[in-house]
Amino acid sequence: MFSVTPEISWKLQLYFIGLKREDHVPAIAESLRKEIAVMEDEINTQEELTKKRTGLSKNHKCK
């Protein structure tokens, strides 16, 4: 059996905390990708609505 000094204990804690963070990074990146995709869809929808409204207002003014 071996004894664990406070320094070794501290280094092990930092190591495992680092591993936990590395596990979360891909999850955070994926979450951000999904949020960006949703925002892009919303922008596309808004652009389509703007084009339709612009087209309708031009048609209405021409009559």
Burial class (CB in 10 A: 0-12, 13-18, 19+), 3: exposed
Q: Output the pLDDT for position 48.
A: 93
Structure tokens at 31: 């979450």
Tell me the whole-structure pTM to 2 decimals.
0.52
Q: Which pLDDT band, with edges at 50, 70 and 90, does 2 fall under?
A: low
pLDDT digits (tens, 9 = 90+) for 10-36: 888 888 888 777 676 677 778 889 999
Q: Output the pLDDT for position 62.
A: 61
